[in-house]
Amino acid sequence: MLLLYLSYAILWISSAVPVVIAAAGKSIFILAGQSNMSGRGGVVNDTWDNYIPPESYPNLAILRLSADLNWQLATEPLHRDIDTAKACGVGPGMAFASSLLGKDSTVGVVGLVPCAVGGTNISQWARGGELYKQLIRRAEAALEGGGTIRGLLWFQGESDTVNREDAESYKTRLQNFYLHVRADLLLPVLPIIQVALASGEGEYVEMVREGQLGMDLVNLRTVDAKGLSLEPDGLHLTTPSQVSLGHMLADAFLQTRPSALALTSGHVSRLTIFPKILFSGLFANFLGSRLLF
């Protein structure tokens, strides 16, 4: 019965709140790459354990763009209707947004645009391909209700560790991808926060990591996932690791900003604070160490 009430409450908020705040000055972030970006935290044998850490709880100041291009309250799994071939779990997106709001209230409402698809290699993200076109289409749709694209969060490369040629070509292909995204979105210095691999599907992990860590582009930051704990499959980050990665991504993004004052607005700041208070009041009796829905 508790789960039923929670479901009704989440549905009410999902339908009511975006109407009020989706058109505000959202800070929009594109989440792209493969399964560790879409999230496999808590997924074992293609089944998610439904555990949501406190850092990934819903917040009325965090929205997600659904597969049908509508803004809604962001809830885990963020990529549930985008990366549909396998079960999704906890990824870094919610922890990133929560951490960002906690460290800089001037960010305002955060709009997350899930685009990651598991098992994809970098050549599938090349300009003209379906994944690339979907990313650009979703990014452009995200702008229609107002807001600004503030950054691209990218975590990919595990699939490129299988074949030596793919690993050797990875740096060039990835750099072209970044440049094309910036050009097609008309954002030549769009902040990009990429993740250096923690694992891989093949033997060329270090070769791909070298390409990632050795890339030098304006407004590109790299966070290193090496050493973060993995699920039993030895490939995907655990839920706690995804939370840690979310914090790392937020810190890296804040380093790209010349001044936190750039987005200062009393109106936006109130929008950031109000949802936290409202959500806390609605769910204070329900949120303990776990939240299932």
> Facing residues of 65 across strands?
71
Burial of 233 (0-12, 13-18, 19+ CB in 10 A): exposed
Q: Where are the alpha helices (DSSP H) in the chain?
A: 2-21, 35-38, 93-103, 130-143, 164-184, 205-213, 239-255, 266-283
| Annotation says 104 is catalytic | no
Q: Which of 104, 166, 199, 236 is catalytic?
A: 236
d(CA 277, CA 188): 37
- Which residue of the set 7, 81, 229, 233 is catalytic? 233
Q: What tokens does 44 get? A: 């074992």
Whether 94 and 74 have beta carbons less than 8 Å apart is answered as yes
Written as six digits, the tokens of 256 are 């790209």
Given the residues 14, 27, 35, 99, the one annotated as active site: 35
**Phi, psi angles (nearest 5°) of residue 192:** -125, 125
Q: What residues form DSSP beta bridges with 154?
A: 32, 194
289 in active site: no
Q: Which residues contact residue 199 at a Cβ distance below 8 angstroms, ignoring those fewer than 6 apart?
A: 158, 205, 230, 234, 235, 236
Contact 122, 177 (CB under 8 A): yes
Whether 216 sits among the annotated catalytic residues: the reply is no
Buried b (16+ CB within 10 A) or exposed e, 152-177: bbbbbbbbbbeeeebbeebbebbeeb
Q: Say how far apart CA 18 and CA 15 lie, in whole Å.
A: 7
Please tell me the distance from the alpha carbon of residue 17 to that of residue 26, in angstroms, as a whole number: 14
CA distance 128 to 189: 21
Active site residues: 35, 233, 236
